[in-house]
Amino acid sequence: MTQSKDIPITPGLKAYIGREISRYHSQPIALSDIRKWAIAVYWPETPPRLYWDADYAKKTRFGGVIAPEDFNPFGWPVEKPKQMDFSDIYAELKKMGNSLNVLNGGGGAQFLTPMRPGDVITSVTIIDDIYYRQGTKWPMSFIIRKTTWTNQKDETVRISTNTQINY
Amino acid sequence: MSLDHTLYVEDVQEGQEIPTFQRQTDLMHWNRFAAVNDEFVQIHMDDEAAKKAGMTGAFGMGNLRYAYILNMLRAWAGINGDIRRLDVQHRAISYKHDVLTAKGKVTKKYAKDGKHFVDLDVEVTNQKNEKTTLGTATVEMPSKMAHAKAR
Amino acid sequence: MTLQQEIRVSDELKTWLGKEAARHTSPPVSEADIRKCAIAVYWPEMPPRLYWDADYAEKTRYGGIVAPEVFNPFAWSIGIVSGAFLPDPISPILQRAGKGLNWLNGGNRDEFHAPMRPGDVITSVTSLDDVHTRQGGRFPMLFFTKKYVWTNHRGELVKVSRQTSIGVLGTP
């Protein structure tokens, strides 16, 4: 999707919109992965049983342990997943006078299907949009990444977006 | 790192030094170990806490140096050796960016109850060659002769 | 009151010598737990396949993934503050006896028996193996050693670990 913002982007940048940046799979989610995540994010309180007590979780509407929404199944890979090289994008930004200072512009997520022990999650990230806006001090580029997670049953688990600002 | 080799007791000599295992550690290593060992201790994470305890800054946990000795022994012994014993004492602190080298030297080979063992002196030294950790270990390994008899 | 006088009055500690002080059962060990431990102790190198590649590990004499000897199955147990330091009733007594001391890791003496595997549930039994004081160098020191005996759910001995802590009055 191309949006018209203050400053038109170069054809070189436009060509990256819709491009896939990365695609990788998680290890099968272990019950212990979920338990540890829940302990960390609820520390120092005991986390809700839904995230670690299989007997309790079986009796809920979920039918078993599920992961908290912010759970990251990609932690601790043996090999770091590869992602697209951004040097050409940065070269295009530099052509537009950008100094490549970076800010995290924030993002959001929709949580669809819960993650469960045994799930293998596939993450696909694309460049959803690139635009250029005149800020109060400098022109700023916005690169919007959209990440879709699906499980082994092809159910959509999560859709998230993140904005990278360069100025 | 591959363990795909077999070290037979006949190929070990008393007095030999085994290949070392080396790391230059900082919070990147300590935090990862803290996470898997559930060992979150302020003096290993925070300079101020460590200074209050009389150190110059946050320092690495002895348990990680212990793990590096095990890594060294495992790499040397290969897939068919078993580390049976490790006794260590920690004598000095390892600070950020110290280069830690785990070393081992064979002191004795012997057989007991039909099994074959090798004893070693082990240590972890820093870049000033100070012993931060030292101790002894025992590795059980297969024998070529026993292997041949079994065939 | 000197340190040695403090310990002498603590007959309470002596009654714990050799006695079972605590028993803990781990959550079932997962392949993920083993993989993460291996990544951490080999960082930044890739760890040996024995610890994370099930297809590879199946063809070894172990018949499957096993954990590195340093693996702690009690890490991140619900209701335990730190899996590296399992709670027991001796600790508060030692803390009182060693009030004001700086504590150092005095080392380990460990025996490794059956390897830990995915699915294993490990039981640890804690006892007080030794406690004594020593006038070392400039400062008095308090030494205590706890013994941990680990067995798996098949009743096999997994590990016997003796861990020593040293309390030092003043800067070590």
Which of A32, A47, A78 has the CB atom closest to C33's CB atom?
A: A32
Q: Spell out the domain ranges in chain C.
A: 3-29+82-168, 30-70
Q: Are residues A161 and A91 in the same domain?
A: yes
Q: Are residues A37 and A25 in the same domain?
A: no
Residues 6+ apart with CB under 8 A from A117: A28, A29, A30, A31, A34, A64, A65
Choose from B26, B36, B69, B147 for mutation: most chain C CBs within 10 A. B36
Q: Are residues A90 and A18 in the same domain?
A: yes
CA distance B16 to chain C (A): 23
Closest chain C residue by Cα to residue B62: C105
Write the pLDDT tens digit of every residue in A79-106: 888 889 999 999 999 988 888 999 888 8
Write the pLDDT tens digit of every residue in A31-82: 999 999 999 888 888 999 999 999 999 999 999 999 998 899 999 999 888 8
What's this model's pTM, rounded to 2 decimal places? Answer: 0.87
> Higher confidence at residue C65 or residue B38?
C65
Q: Two tokens at B51?
A: 């200074």
Among B17, B19, B61, which residue's Cα sits nearest to residue B39?
B61
Q: How many CB pairs under 8 A join A and C?
A: 43
Does a structural domain hold residue B2? no
B119 at C interface, C-beta within 8 A: no
Choose from A76, A115, A121 for mutation: most chain C CBs within 10 A. A76
What's the confidence (pLDDT) of residue C5? 46
Among A128, A127, A30, A110, which residue's Cα sits nearest to residue A70?
A110
Write the pLDDT tens digit of every residue in B91-102: 888 999 999 999
User: CATH number for the domain including B90?
Assistant: 3.10.129.10
Pairwise CB contact (< 8 Å): C28 & A31: yes
DSSP bridge pairs for C20:
C127
Contacts of C160 in chain B (CB under 8 A): none
Pairwise CB contact (< 8 Å): C36 & A76: yes
Q: pLDDT below 50 — which residues of chain C? A: 1, 5-7, 9
Contacts of C49 in chain B (CB under 8 A): 2-3
Check: CB of residue B11 under 8 Å from CB of residue B4.
Answer: no
Residues 6+ apart with CB under 8 A from B114: B146
CA distance B79 to chain C (A): 8
Residues 6+ apart with CB under 8 A from B31: B45
Total domains present in chain A: 2
Alpha-carbon span A45 to C3, nearest angstrom: 36
CA distance B86 to chain C (A): 5
Among A96, A127, A118, which residue's Cα sits nearest to residue A30?
A118
Domain housing B14: 9-150
Longest dimension (CA), chain B: 63
Does a structural domain hold residue B3? no
3-state secondary structure of B131: strand
Residue type for position B69: I
In A10-155, the DSSP E strands lie at 20-25, 102-111, 122-134, 139-150
Total domains present in chain B: 1
User: CATH number for the domain including A167?
Assistant: 3.10.129
Residue that the structure tokens 């960016």 belong to: B97
Check: CB of residue A129 under 8 Å from CB of residue A80.
Answer: no
Contacts of A47 in chain C (CB under 8 A): 78
C28 at A interface, C-beta within 8 A: yes
A46 at C interface, C-beta within 8 A: yes
Q: Are residues A35 and A22 in the same domain?
A: no
Residues 6+ apart with CB under 8 A from A106: A162, A163
Q: Which residues of C touch B (CB under 8 A)?
A: 33, 36-37, 39-50, 60-61, 68-70, 72, 74-77, 82-85, 102, 104-112, 164, 170-172
A120 at C interface, C-beta within 8 A: no
> DSSP for C39-79?
HHHHTTSPPPGGGT-HHHHHTSTTSS----TT--TTTT-TT
Does a structural domain hold residue B1? no
Q: Are residues A110 and A90 in the same domain?
A: yes
Which of C28, C39, C78 has the CB atom closest to A76's CB atom?
A: C39
Q: Two tokens at C111?
A: 């025996």
Closest chain B residue by Cα to residue C115: B82
What's the confidence (pLDDT) of residue C12? 84
B79 at C interface, C-beta within 8 A: yes
Write the pLDDT tens digit of every residue in A110-145: 989 999 999 999 999 999 999 999 888 888 999 999
C120 at A interface, C-beta within 8 A: no
Alpha-carbon span A114 to A111, nearest angstrom: 7
Which ipTM did the prediction report? Answer: 0.84
DSSP bridge pairs for C59:
none
Tell me if the domain spanning C3-29+82-168 has CATH number 3.10.129.10: yes
Alpha-carbon span C19 to C149, nearest angstrom: 12
Domain housing A47: 30-72
Choose from B38, B51, B85, B119 for mutation: most chain C CBs within 10 A. B38
Residue that the structure tokens 């297969």 belong to: B142
What's the confidence (pLDDT) of residue B147? 65
Q: Are residues A107 and A163 in the same domain?
A: yes
Write the pLDDT tens digit of every residue in B102-147: 999 999 999 999 999 999 999 999 999 999 999 999 999 999 987 6
